[in-house]
A and B are shown apart, each in its own frame.
Chain A
Amino acid sequence: MTLDWSVVWQHREALVAATGTTILLTIATMAIAVPCGLIVAALRLYAWAPVRTLATAYVELFRNLPLILVVFWAFYVLPIWTGLGLSPLATGLAALALNVTAYNAETFRAGLNSIRRGQVEAAMALGMSRAQALRRVIVPQALRRVLPVLASTWVSLFKDTSLVSVIAVTELAYVAMQVRAQTFRVLEMLTAMAAIYWLLGYPQAKLVDWIQRKYSVTE
């Protein structure tokens, strides 16, 4: 078997664009899932009981479904429900955001719960409202505590974006597979794909390690 690596070079533009889409998907998903996760966590902890139940149901549903199923579900069901013809990219983003928001909500809930009661009391003794105590005292501390976990989620998400290739989002996995199908250069394309994911993923993982060291809790 002869290897022909030129196929990778020939399709460099498509691969670079696809890598850009992968990065964009990761950033956009987190940009949605961090604030939404925090809101869902706050609802689960502090909202009126029926809202709390709804938030819990959401988290438990999406945390316990395979992501690929959510992706397919978003592709087939969302257009029927919303009546909107969403692009594959928007559909993939919605599926990823639904999933990661549920994970982040759990992360934030653990973080918010880890701040001891005395901190709220100290804030309230100063005359703060519960909302002010949450915003000024509890959330900033909880964010620091969960930052390493969020960073790990980020690295997982970066790789999991490949799952939206099943609905033809032109991200890295999809494009690499397309080139493979057209050229039959299976080994070359899979290797190229692995190399790109690894080269981008490894520094992120190292960054996570650094964040974990830097923000380890000191009280």
Chain B
Amino acid sequence: MTTPQSTAPRAKGGGLKIIRYRGVIKRFGSFTALNGVDLDVHAGEVVCLIGPSGSGKSTLLRCTNGLETIDGGDIEFEGALLPRDERVLRAMRARMGMVFQSFELFPHLTAQQNVAEGPRTVQKVSLAEANRRATAMLAKVGLADKAVNYPSALSGGQQQRVAIARALAMEPDVMLFDEPTSALDPETIGEVLNVMKALAEEGMTMVVVTHEMTFARRVGDWVAVFDTGRIVEQGPPSQIFDAPTTERTRDFLSHLGWSG
């Protein structure tokens, strides 16, 4: 099985691969969600995973930090295979920030407490340090004035920005975004994408499952197109959006009304 690979050089990271997926297989009962996925994520890159719903992109993201265990192949993070051992896996997970489609802020904590929770409980930093980080991260996502608000008092876009701040407070090496704007009102999508774009410009390594083709094209360094558990094509956005080499990619983009 060969995947059409781009011959274009990867612009960033100097060849340093942060995440390597090799022949990743994931099954849910008799359903094969991932059927041999090969993909590299280089340091400082924004890799966008696109494709129809149920094609396996979110599953790959969830396998990356071990929320789902894989049934075949392997995933390397910073040169080491994802461990089976819970304790080691947790330490690795703490270096990957994750942002969910449905935000999943902790509703019993204020924005500030949400962001401070990870450093406090997982990294065992002092309360002062956790609060310092929380304040800094909330400011970074433009929500310094919402620190004392509970999630229920924030808009969807604001909640998702707090969720990004919560992940950043762990000072991760890579950020995983699972359809971060799919649950948002159209008018708040932009504020979240802007925060993500700013992060990308700072050099954060990001893996983004998204239906926002404009974001994938403008901000993505590398785009992988998924279909039925496989990557049907991957390459720089210019290739994927302007000169797709497979029928399946053209098909998918045309269904989205993408005219190239």
Contact = CB atoms under 8 A, between A and B. Distances in A.
Given A118-B102, A122-B100, A219-B152, A128 B107 contact: no
A125 B107 contact: no
Contact of A126 (B94, B102, B107, B151): B94
B72 to A, nearest CB: 23
Nearest to A141: B108
Interface residues of B, number: 28
Contact of A136 (B93, B102, B117): B117
A127 B107 CA distance: 19
A207 interface: no
A129 interface: yes
Chain A binding surface, main DSSP class? helix
A132 B117 CA distance: 11
Contacts of A119: 104, 106
A141 B105 CA distance: 12
**Which bucket holds chain A's interface residue count?**
10 to 19
Contacts of A144: 108
B172 to A, nearest CB: 10
A144 B106 CA distance: 13
Contacts of B100: 118, 121-122, 125
A85 interface: no
B170 interface: yes
Nearest to B166: A126
Interface of B: 65, 67, 86, 90-91, 93-94, 96-98, 100, 102, 104-108, 117-118, 121-123, 151-152, 163, 166-167, 170
Given A127-B90, A137-B106, 13 more contacts: A119-B106, A124-B67, A127-B91, A128-B122, A129-B90, A132-B122, A136-B117, A136-B121, A141-B107, A218-B152, A219-B107, A219-B151, A219-B152
9 contacts: A119-B106, A126-B118, A127-B90, A132-B122, A136-B121, A140-B108, A218-B107, A218-B152, A219-B151
Interface of A: 118-119, 121-129, 132, 136-137, 140-141, 144, 218-219
